[in-house]
Amino acid sequence: MNPSRVTFFRRLGSTLGLWALIVGSVVAGSDIGFFLLIVFMALVALYEYFHMVKEQGAPVFTLTGMLCAAVYLVGSFLYLRSHGAEQSLDLEMGVLVGFLFVIFTRQMFRAAADREPLEAIAYTVFGLLYIPWLFNFITKIIYLAPRAENGDPTGQYYVIYLIVVTKFSDMGAYVFGSLFGRHPFATHISPKKTWEGFFGALLASTLGSYWLFALIPGRLPALRFEDVTLLGLVLGGGAVVGDLAESIIKRSTHAKDSSHILPGIGGTLDLIDSLLFTAPLMYFYLRLVVGL
């Protein structure tokens, strides 16, 4: 079989398998199961980021960063579960202050010269904001929609919608770029990206948005046809930006993939990179445009 086809099917299998776990846990309505899966993926992706940075000889506080991420994810889950997402602004402000406070305190107990302290602080704080902080918007979406009469959260289907549209964008970019890619797009970041892949991503994400809205319209009561159209384009573009954002990190650290645990994809960060940007976009659209 053609190597590109082998890569495609490996990528497709890994993507479907892992996201099936997330969708299954969301549909099952298990708060704890969903929480554990989100925390596991976020922490593995964060560790991959720290490993890539350290491989280039750059200073980073891996253990401190991992502990900060774990405490934030656990605390945020418990808060959102009890109070909902609409009152989470104070939590977010406290998290940002807490990250800076802990990382600066950690540096005080580490002897270093020249620019090393600033680099260690910058690389660590960036990793915390880039991965667990952005990825946690998925949890916020779960608790953003009004609860059911029995008190169960109802935002899980908006998360499924988010994942489907984002992954349609990823696959559309890959397929259209592989089959029709002729005109380079952002070659200074990723030489294989093309304009054909970009527009293929937007087309696929929009079609995925229409498909899921037609499939489960009653589970997405806050969305209208115009919302589905706009979100298909916005999330599709956000997914491309998310993919390019990780490409910048990998190019800076001279890494092909974040790790090698997923056949055809690479690492967990390679799997969730686009969601790190589409999840906040979905959350703020639901909050500011739809009015949840």
The one-letter amino acid code at 208 reads: G
- Domain coverage including residue 127: 3-290
Q: Where are the alpha helices (DSSP H) in the chain?
A: 3-27, 31-55, 62-83, 89-108, 116-128, 134-135, 137-142, 156-180, 195-215, 225-253, 268-272, 275-284
How many domains, the chain? Answer: 1
Could you give the 3-state DSSP secondary structure of residue 133? helix
pLDDT digits (tens, 9 = 90+) for 243-276: 999 989 988 888 876 766 665 566 789 889 999 9
pLDDT at 213: 93
The model's confidence at residue 184, banded by pLDDT at 50, 70 and 90, is confident
pLDDT digits (tens, 9 = 90+) for 62-93: 999 999 999 999 999 888 888 877 777 778 88
Query: Which pTM value belongs to this model?
Result: 0.89
Q: What is the C-alpha separation between 61 and 120, in angstroms, rounded?
A: 7
The model's confidence at residue 61, banded by pLDDT at 50, 70 and 90, is very high
| Burial letters 220-259, b for 16+ CB under 10 A, else e | bebbeeebbebbbbbbbbbbbebbbbbbebbeebebebbb
**Overall average pLDDT of the 120-137 stretch:** 94
- Asked if residue 91 lies in contact with residue 76, where contact means CB atoms within 8 angstroms, the answer is yes
pLDDT beyond 70 at 112: no
Q: What is the C-alpha separation between 27 and 117, in angstroms, rounded?
A: 45
pLDDT at 156: 84
